[in-house]
Amino acid sequence: MNSFSSRATPVQKGDKLSKSQCPQNDNDKVEMKMVLYGSAIGSLMYAHVCTRPDIAFVVNALGRYLSNPGLDHWKAIKKVFRYLQGTKDNMLTYKKFDQLQVIGYSDSDFVGCSDDQKSTSGFIFMMAGGVISWKSVKQTLTTTSTMEAEYVACYEATCQAMWLKNLISSFQIVESISRPLVIYCGNTTVVHFSQNNRSSTHSKHLDIKFWFVREKVLDYQTRIEHTAT
């Protein structure tokens, strides 16, 4: 792969991975036995976990076919390597700030998995101008709307935010961590839904654990009101 041309992105819009691309006959299976798919996934996982949040989504998607990869899956892996070839000099950087603040972003695709119609959650947290935490994972439930998929992603980000808050607080060197963490979500309906305690027919079937987001938002609003009075 050293001599391969580079790519601008690890995955392109419209690229699809599915079980239908797995080996369909004995010849395909024999051909794929010669491919070091597992080793390649392991290498990409190491890069993704340590310093490459930009490949988190595609590595998570490719890892779903580790037990029975097909030629199309292998081609997709090589596209990621070509992308890394062109961006190997990129790095995470951090800057000096007077006020350190953790800022999070959550997002999801809707019904992104062709095999089971489930969506994928993703979040990223930044501090000192650089990324400090990130994750991309397929959701465990089947959502019926973009709002639900985004809300589940926001739940995953909120759980990580609370963990980061506790971790950084234990260091006792970042005073600003005592303030609420900011999480940006790309869906305005999720924002409104998280800021009120009314139930609706569209949200009754959501697992009780996902109400954790609303609980944290309302708790912050209550503290603001008490401070104002």
Q: What is the mean pLDDT of each run of 10 residues along the chain (229 residues)?
A: 86 90 92 94 95 96 95 96 93 88 94 92 95 95 86 90 92 83 88 70 57 68 59
CB of 202 within 8 A of CB of 190? no
Class of 103-228 in CATH: alpha beta
pLDDT at 144: 83
CB of 78 within 8 A of CB of 1? yes
pLDDT at 98: 81
The residues, ordered by sequence, that sit 6+ positions from 104 with a Cβ below 8 Å of its Cβ are 123, 124, 125, 126, 157, 160, 161, 181, 182, 183, 184
pLDDT at 10: 94
CB of 45 within 8 A of CB of 59? yes
CATH 3.30.420 placement within the chain: 103-228
pLDDT at 104: 96
pLDDT at 173: 82
CA distance 6 to 81: 8
pLDDT at 13: 85
pLDDT at 221: 61
Bridge-based pairing of strands 182-185 and 103-109 is: parallel
> Cα 22 to chain center, whole Å?
25
